[in-house]
Every structure is written in C-alpha cells, then in structure tokens.
Chain A
C-alpha cells in the first residue's frame, strides 16, 4: 500500500500534483518546478520530507556500533553536531547515505532515505551482535519539515527560534510555538536552511505556522521535483540514482567525507583504504551539455567512440539554464575538467563538457 505522510491532506488542499515516490504518495510540484526552485534559491521554501527515516541509536555501545558501520569517526563527533555518513557493505558499496546526529551521551539520531529504510534496519540489526545497542525506528511517529533558502534564517527568527550559536551541521532540542522539536541546520538544496523534526500530531500546526509567518519572506511549499533539481545543482547525490550497493564512497567522489586516520575497523574498510591509496576503476563526473539536449538517468557516456560509462542524474538547471548531469565513467586520466565527452541521446551522440561539481555556488555553510 502507498503510504501518506501526516501532511498529505495539506498538499492535496494546496493543489499539489501527487506522485508515488519510494512507496509514499508525495507532492512533486504545487505550481511549477522552475518557480519553486527559484523560490528556494532567492527566498525560502517549505518541504515535507516526512517520508525520510528517523532511527534512534542508543545504548552503552552506540558509538562503538556506529563506528563499525560507517567510514566516518563517530567517536569524534561532538554533542549536537551532525556528520554526513555512508552505510557501507563488506565490499565498501553503499547501502545508504545518512546524516548522523549526536543528541546525547551514547544517543544518536540517524536520518536515512525513505527508499532504503528496510535495508538499513536489516543491516544495522545484523551488525549489532554482541553489542549493547538499541535500534529504535521512529519513522512512523515523526514528521520532518525542511525550511530552505537565504531567507530561512529570518523566518526561523520570526518563529521565535534563537538561531544564535547554531552553525551548519548542528542540532538542538527546542520549542517553536510551544511545540517540542529537534531543529538541525542541514538540508538538501545547497542553501542555508533548517530541518524540523516533530511528532506527527503537531506537524500540521507547524506547517501552517511556517507558511503563515513565511508569507512576508515570499515562502512557497516546494515539491519533490524542485527538491531534485536543487540537490542536483548542488551536486548532492540521490540514492538509487547516483549511489548504489556496487558503488563505493570513493568512486562517488565522497573521499572528502572519509577520515584518513580512522584506526577503527568498519565494513568495507580494506576496499575503501585500497581505493584511497591506489585509485578507482570508475569515477563520478559532472557534465554540461553543449547543445539543447538533456542527459537523463541511464543514458550512455562515450569518449572517443568508446562507451565509458553512464549518466545517473540529469536535468535543466533552473538557476543557470544549462543542461547539467552527473555520471560515472572509467577512470581514464584523460577525462578531467574541460574534457569533451559524448552522451548517447535517442541514438545520437551529443557533446558535453566535463565541469567541476557543484554546478552552482553552495551557500549552506554558515
């Protein structure tokens, strides 16, 4: 059965076009993807991302346990800080990508992709053998609202939230309009913004309050369509498109997120360390089409008449008007920034240029 978030009826009442996404009936757009996209880049947007998974990990061995399932150093994560992580299998392949928040002593919040929650839970449980760890999936009890854009900070202040001392990638327990929630300064758009985790029964009230107070800042509700174009401009990966179980974080261009000095063993460590030292067979690239054609997920990439890889995500960038894409290619030294490659679109090869990622200037680090 297709699931509905607690805010489902709000979306329908706002006239959203609804689609099935990862088993959820979600708004893909309210008015126009391009218009919603620009609202987030220029003002502020509100997203319902309650389909995402919220899992609490606690117990005496919680830190030890998380350190074993991700390449990141969870033992070094300070209280109220967040870290972008990958849940790796024995071969270093990605089961999911996650944000882990430290919300107490031996107490963590793990946010995972809606499409991967079952696989994640299964893998976490399989790895807890012999450890004092409680894995508590609370996805069905919480709603997650994202407020994103350059005006997000003004809106949060207007809602009475004190953002002082809350830098990006941090989380705090707090109250807005008397409602208890967890507020993190994170997002999936490349803009500054906040994610608000709240018990389901208060989510509709909070949704309405945010839209009401956001009016003066030009707020709009934003669907999954613009969420996808926003994250792609920021070159943030989408699990299932750009990441899967056969791709390692190193191949996915996520080396920056992996500490090179982690002594602790974790799933897939030997493969990942070997790739850091000796290189990878395939690598992710960003590309820009040189004609009007749009590269889409699954299209083949060619270099000097040889098939060398495929596109994993592509769209017209609403911010720049350029046709951008992410893809994987054989790790040939001659394919680098400014190289000309080709994408097979409707049985014809179209030129594209390899460009640096992200495709826009990110503004989320404050």
Chain B
C-alpha cells in the first residue's frame, strides 16, 4: 500500500503521510478494538510536537492522540468524527484524522520510524 510506504510513524502510534496527513496506525486501531468516540481539534488550532490534539475511545478505554510533528490544523476529517467506528475498517485513505501545515517538518521527523521499522518495534 503506497500510503504505508510513504508515511512515518511515532512510537505513540500516530503517522504522518505526504508530510501533512496525520492519523493513527492500523496497529493502534487494532489494539483499541471497537472505536466508539473521537474528538479532534478545530481548523486553525496550533500544536507542538508531542501535544495531545485529540481523544479516542474504544468500548473498553479512553486514549489520547499526540502530534507527531509541530504545526497548524488546516483540515479535519469530520466524517470519522461522525462515524468513528469507520476507523476500524480503514485508518488511512478514508480514516486519516487531520491535515496540518508543519512548522519544522525536517527537524521534527528525526525520531519517527518508517512503517517497516515501526511494525518491527511494536510486534
């Protein structure tokens, strides 16, 4: 899948693809189980790398979602906020969370992993 080949992942299970699309990895979604609630920020909100920018809940538990790089929110995927259960089917093409305008992309990604490295790390 081209999406997975071109993205970078954080150890806290977020990804950034095409330098601006942020979401949760399939591993994270699978670990969470049935997703029932998603809360995302508004367009224009600004976050530093590592900040909590959203909240996600499965039937069992609540978790926070962290920014993989610093930046400003330029688009929010309202469709997944409306139907968070869709994330269990697809967390990439249709299941991304926010699009951002990164501040310091190149210096922020130094500790991020390729999908292959990330999978090796979590499994």
Whether B60 pairs with A34 at a CB distance below 8 angstroms is no
| A294 and B34 contacting across the interface, CB-CB below 8 Å | no
Which A residues are CB-close (under 8 A) to B37?
292-294, 316
Q: Is the CB of A294 within 8 A of B33?
A: no
Q: How far is the CA of A156 from the CA of B37 in the complex (A)?
A: 38
Residues of A within 8 A of B59 (CB): 33-34, 225, 229, 315-316, 318
Q: Does A296 contact B (CB under 8 A)?
A: yes
Q: How far is the CB of A110 from chain B (nearest CB, A)?
A: 29
Cβ-closest chain A residue relative to B34: A34
Q: Give chain B nearest CB distance to A199 CB in angstroms.
A: 32
CB pair A33–B60 under 8 Å, yes or no, is yes
Residues of chain B within 8 A of A315, CB atoms compared: 59-60
Q: Which of these, A28, A225, A316, A346, contacts B36 with CB under 8 Å?
A: A316
- Bound-state Cα–Cα, A346 to B36, Å: 17
Residue-wise interface mask of B (48-74) relative to A, using a CB-CB cutoff of 8 A (1 in contact, 0 not): 000000010111101000000000000
* A225-251 at interface with B (beta carbon < 8 Å): 225, 228-229
For A162, what are the chain B residues with a Cβ–Cβ distance below 8 Å? Answer: none
Q: A29–B59 Cα gap in the complex (Å)? A: 11
Q: Give the residue of B33, B36, B39 whose beta carbon is less than 8 angstroms from that of A29.
A: B33
The secondary structure that dominates the B interface is: strand
With A and B bound together, what is the CA distance between A34 and B33 in angstroms?
9
Chain A residues with Cβ below 8 Å from B60 are 28, 33, 225, 228, 315
Expressed in whole angstroms, the Cα–Cα distance for A33 and B61 within the complex equals 12
Q: Would you call A296 and B33 a contact (CB within 8 A)?
A: no
Residues 260-281 of A, flagged 1 when their CB comes within 8 A of B and 0 if not, give 0000000000000000000000
A276 to B3, CA, bound (A): 63
Return B27 CB to nearest CB of chain A, in Å. Answer: 13
Determine the distance from Cα of A331 to Cα of B33 in the docked complex, in whole angstroms. 37
A225 & B33 in contact (Cβ 8 Å cutoff) = yes
Query: Which residue on B lies nearest to A346, using beta carbons?
Result: B55
Residues 24-54 (chain A) with a chain B CB within 8 angstroms: 28-29, 32-34
- Distance in angstroms from A356 CB to nearest chain B CB is 23
**Chain A residue, CB-CB nearest to B58:** A33
Find chain B residues with CB under 8 A from A296 CB: 62
B33/A32 in contact, CB under 8 A: yes
Q: Interface code A341-356, partner B: CB below 8 Å = 1, 0 otherwise?
A: 0000010000000000
Task: For B57, list chain A residues within 8 Å (CB).
Answer: 294
- Interface residues in A88-141 by Cβ distance below 8 A to B read none
Nearest CB of B to A318, in Å: 7
**Interchain residue pairs with CB less than 8 A apart (19):** A29-B33, A32-B33, A33-B33, A33-B34, A33-B59, A34-B59, A225-B33, A225-B59, A225-B60, A228-B60, A292-B37, A294-B36, A296-B62, A315-B59, A316-B37, A316-B59, A318-B59, A346-B39, A346-B55
Starting from the known contacts A29-B33, A294-B36, A315-B59, 16 additional A-B residue pairs (CB-CB under 8 Å) come to A17-B33, A32-B33, A32-B88, A33-B33, A33-B34, A33-B58, A33-B59, A33-B60, A34-B59, A228-B60, A229-B59, A292-B37, A293-B37, A296-B62, A318-B59, A346-B55
